Structure 1
Amino acid sequence: MLAGLPTARRRLLVLLALVAVGAVAALVVLRLTGADDAARPAAEDEATPGPVLLVPGYGGSVGSLQTLADRLAAGGRDATVVPVPGDGTGDLAASAAALDTAVDEALARTGADSVDVVGYSAGGVVARLWAADGGAEQARRVLTLGSPHHGTTVADLAARFLAAECPDACQQLTTGSPLLAELNAGDETPAGPDWVSVWTTGDGTVTPPASAELAGALNVPVQSVCADAEVSHGQLPADALVQAIVLAQLAAGPPVELGPADCARLRAG
């Protein structure tokens, strides 16, 4: 068929055919290697992380998280401790609503696309309530710090023997509370953010300490990094080693597996 065409036109048709074959081959390579993502903006794990919102635990002490917020700020992060209503002893859903407002304000103020949330103790449960109610779409990472995700027997004892001194949040942190049962039904870590749970085996407030384990999260007991670490529940936010672990997990990029090989470096940092 080509033999009957003028030489110049025949060469043009052959050239066009070769270009078409080359384009198809390139497309196949792109599909197989994932290189078609190259035209996208910087990947999320390479982007500059947005502001950090820190949520205090039962009792609502903003000061308990200030040293951690200061260390994050010293590392260049925009870090804010979120005051929670009722000193953190009221309905945890109300604290989640306060977090939601603080997130919206932080995103509007900074122009960032997402936030990182650090929830200490009951604040980790608050962060999960917020995420489950749509907040997951706004979060890059949620890190909980010594949080009773499956309740604590300390709250059980308070609810049983000191009911008058066990307000709403205390009742909600019992091991059989309806709030935790609903929160833990199905997926404990909704899609959207990366999830990290940092906790200590020496916790005397979250009992048993393994209640802080979160299915679907990167779980980091402090002692899995430094076996001799003696960190209590109340010491978690201000402990230098724990802070270094938190900073490593909130850095750009995905959460990082940490182990004994990292102990000396994190303690020095």
Structure 2
Amino acid sequence: MLVGLSPARRRFLLGVAALVVVALTALAVVLVSRGSAPAAEPVSQERPGPVLLVPGYGGSTSSLQPLADLLTAQGRDATVVRLPGTGTGDLAESAAALGAAADAALDRSGADSVDVVGYSAGGVVARLWVADGGAAVVRRVITLGAPHHGTTLADLAGEVAPDQCPLGCVQLGTGSAVLARLNAGDETPAGPTWVSIWTTQDRTVTPPDSARLDGALNLPVQEVCPQAQLGHGELPRDAVVQAIVLAQLAAGDPVPLDAGDCARLGG
């Protein structure tokens, strides 16, 4: 193909071809290095740090304060995170508030990591924070009645009274783009260990097993204490649930529990 070309033209085309080869080689090196990059390192499970408790939809801190007080009495550094605005806006903004609270807790305590307890929508907020960069500094995420796969109650609100279903409500629907992104692929990314606790009698997160999280230790309360009678709003205040949370926040890996543990947990 190059025979009929002048020497200068031939040299030019050969030079361009060489540059293309170099560029393609460099691209291949980049792609291989990306594909072989190590996964995120797991956070040490042996050194529990401060505990951040994330409220549910609406942002009220009162439901989580008794659990925070119990943790404080047990010697843990526990803070209920205040969400921006009314706690019904963009869940990403709430995740940013959790990130700021984590930075403050780490600076204050000198710890390497934090533990997070997310109640209801607060569990989704915790997952957003982990997915968007928090994985390296959180040891354990515990969610209480979290609508990880949406709740049909939010769907109904969006259909019947859309003006009463702000962005945070929409993002908790079963067809939410936010939840679709979180649940695509690995629902429990590396870094922390994960525990999901819920009640089978939930009438707010519907269906209740929307709280089930692939890769987590899943603990329906009724599998631990079969006679337990509690709804969504009682989860953070229930003595058995609080005992389960304390057990799961201890040093070491999450602890599987069953009906044989009910009496020990106060059920």
Fold shared, TM-score > 0.5 on shorter chain: yes
Q: Distance in 2 between matches of 1:231 and 1:251?
A: 24
Q: Distance in 2 between matches of 1:141 and 1:46?
A: 11
Indicate conservation of the 8 Å contact 2:45/2:139, yes or no. no
Residue in structure 2 matched with residue 179 of structure 1 by the alignment: 178
The number of aligned residues is 225
- How far does the alpha carbon of each residue in 1:208-246 deviate from its partner, in whole angstroms, 9 at most, with x for none? 000000011000000010000011000000110000000
SS at match of 2:67: helix
C-alpha deviation, 1:80, in angstroms: 0.1
SS at match of 1:119: strand
C-alpha deviation, 1:137, in angstroms: 0.7
Residue in structure 1 matched with residue 46 of structure 2 by the alignment: 46
Residue in structure 2 matched with residue 244 of structure 1 by the alignment: 243
Q: How does 1:22-41 map to 2 (within 5 A)?
A: none
C-alpha deviation, 1:46, in angstroms: 3.3
Q: Distance in 1 between matches of 2:52 and 2:96?
A: 13
Q: Distance in 2 between matches of 1:170 and 1:115?
A: 27
Q: Distance in 2 between matches of 1:45 and 1:179?
A: 29
SS at match of 1:144: strand
SS at match of 1:219: strand
Q: Distance in 1 between matches of 2:150 and 2:109?
A: 35
C-alpha deviation, 1:87, in angstroms: 1.8
Indicate conservation of the 8 Å contact 2:205/2:232, yes or no. yes
1:257 pairs with 2:229? no
Q: Following superposition, which runs of at least 4 residues in structure 1 exceed 6 angstroms of deviation?
A: none
Q: Distance in 1 between matches of 2:73 and 2:189?
A: 31
Identity of aligned residues (%): 71
Residue in structure 2 matched with residue 111 of structure 1 by the alignment: 110
Which letter maps to 2:88? T
C-alpha deviation, 1:44, in angstroms: 3.1
- How far does the alpha carbon of each residue in 1:172-213 deviate from its partner, in whole angstroms, 9 at most, with x for none? 000001111111101110100000000000100000000000
Residue in structure 2 matched with residue 16 of structure 1 by the alignment: none
Q: Distance in 1 between matches of 2:202 and 2:186?
A: 25
Residue in structure 1 matched with residue 61 of structure 2 by the alignment: 62
What is the root-mean-square deviation of aligned Cα atoms in Å? 1.0
- TM-score under structure 2 normalisation? 0.83
Q: Distance in 2 between matches of 1:203 and 1:86?
A: 26
C-alpha deviation, 1:143, in angstroms: 0.6
Q: Distance in 1 between matches of 2:73 and 2:264?
A: 18
Which letter maps to 1:129? L
Residue in structure 2 matched with residue 194 of structure 1 by the alignment: 193
Structure 2: 5+ residue stretches without partners? 1-42
SS at match of 2:195: strand
Which letter maps to 1:71? L
- TM-score under structure 1 normalisation? 0.82
SS at match of 2:141: strand
